[in-house]
Chains A and B, each alone.
Chain A
Amino acid sequence: MTPHEKKGATQYTPYHPRWYRTRVSTYWWLWKWYYLKFVLRELSSIFVAYFVVITLLQVHSLSRGSETYARFEERMRNPLTIALNAISFFFVLFHAITWFNLAPRAIVARLGGKRVPDILIAGSNYVAWLAISATVAWFILR
C-alpha cells in the first residue's frame, strides 16, 4: 500500500499495480519564486504574532508604572532586540502588502451590476492601513 493509499486517497483499480508516484521533495518551496513567496508569507505570521506579544508586553509594563516601563524600554534598546524587530517589521510589511494585493481575488464586490475593479478593493485596504497608521502616529507623536 502506498503512503497515499494509507492516507485514504482514491483507490486505483488493480489492473495497473505498478504506477510510479514521484515523492514530493521537502524542498518543493525552493522550486519557484512563487512558492517561496508563499512560504515567506506563511512564515511572516510568526513575526506578526511576535509583534502582538511585544505590544501586549508593552501595554502590560505601562500599566505597572514608569519604572517597569523604563525597564521594558531598556530591553528594547538591546541591539539584538532591535535587529529582531527590524526583521519582524520587514516580515509584517511583507505580510500586509501581499495580503492586501491578494484581497481582490477573494472579494468580488459589484456596484451597479459591474465588478468593482481590483485596484479599488486593494486600494481601500491600503487607505485604511494608512489612516490607522496616521492615527496611531498622531497619538504617539503629538
Chain B
Amino acid sequence: MAETIQLEVTRYSPEHDAAPTFQRFEVPYRKDWVVLDALNYIKDKLDGSLSYRWSCRMGICGSCGMMVNGQPKLTCATFLSHYAPGAVRVEPLRYFPVVRDLVIEMTDFMVKLQKVKPWIIRKAEKSLADGEYPQTPQQLDAYKQFSMCINCMLCYAACPVYGLDPLFAGPAAIALAQRYNLDSRDQGAKERMDILSQHEGIWGCTFVGECTEACPKNVDPAGAIQQYKLTAAKEWLKSLLMPWGAK
C-alpha cells in the first residue's frame, strides 16, 4: 500500500461557520511533494471546495503563504518530508482576517505598502535624451537584499507587533521603503521619512526579529527597520543641532 500523510486543513465558510474548524485529509506521501502539492491533491481528488491562493509554485509570486505547523511558510517551498510521518497542520496566515478556508484578506498590507511609496521618486525626471541613470555594483549592493521581497506577507504573520497593533506599518513595507531609500537613483527619502518616522512606522517595531527568520528570500526586514531607526535618529539630531538645515 502506498504511503500516506495526514493533513489538517483550516476550513471556514463565512456563510455557514461562526469560527474556523479543521478538516483532516489523507493524501499520498511523496518525498518530492511540497505542502502545496498536497493541497492541490485535495482540491483535485478529495474536496473541490477547498479555497487557497497559489500561482507560480516556485517561490516567486508570494501567493501561497500559509501557516504550516504554526510557522509562516511558502507552501510551495515546504516539503512534506520535513514533517512526515506526523500530521501537517495548514492554517491561513496569522493576524490577517480569514475570507474563506486558507484565503486571507490582504487589503491592509496593500494600503500600507502604497503609503510608504515603494517606487523611485525623482525631483525632476531626466529626459530620454539625457540617458539612463547608471549605477555601480556597490550602489546596487546597497539595496539589492531588500529588493528581493516578494510581498508574501510571511513576515507579517511572524510579527507579534503587527498582531497586537494593527496600525503598525509592518516589516515588508518598511523594508521596501528602505530598498528605495538606499537606491542611488531615488530622491524620495525625505517624503518616506515623514511617513515612517511616526510611531506606527519604524518606532512601533520592538525588534523581535522573527520577520527575518520567516522571510523566504533572506530580505532581513528587521535589519532594515533598525537601520532606518538609526537614520531617523541621526536626522532628528541633525534637525535639533542645525534647525536651519531642515526643510
B107 and A13 contact, CB distance less than 8 A: yes
Residue B94 CB within 8 A of the other chain: yes
Nearest A residue to B10, CB-CB: A20
In the complex, which residues of chain B have a beta carbon less than 8 angstroms from the beta carbon of A73? Answer: none
Residue B229 CB within 8 A of the other chain: yes
Q: A10-B107, A21-B97 are in contact. List 12 more A-B contacts (CB 8 A).
A: A12-B108, A16-B105, A20-B12, A20-B20, A20-B98, A28-B160, A35-B208, A35-B210, A38-B207, A105-B223, A106-B227, A113-B138
B226 and A34 contact, CB distance less than 8 A: no
Q: What mask results when residues 94 to 138 of chain B are scored 1 for a CB within 8 Å of chain A, else 0?
A: 110111000001011001100000000000000000000000001
Residue A129 CB within 8 A of the other chain: no
Residue A22 CB within 8 A of the other chain: yes
Q: What mask results when residues 23 to 62 of chain A are scored 1 for a CB within 8 Å of chain B, else 0?
A: 0100011011011001000100000000000000000000
Residues of A at the B interface (CB closer than 8 Å) are 4, 7-10, 12-13, 16-22, 24, 28-29, 31-32, 34-35, 38, 42, 102, 105-108, 113, 115
Given contacts A4-B166, A19-B98, A19-B105, contact A42 B206 (CB under 8 A): yes
Q: How far is the CA of A27 from the CA of B14 in the complex (A)?
A: 27
In the complex, which residues of chain B have a beta carbon less than 8 angstroms from the beta carbon of A22? Answer: 94-95, 98
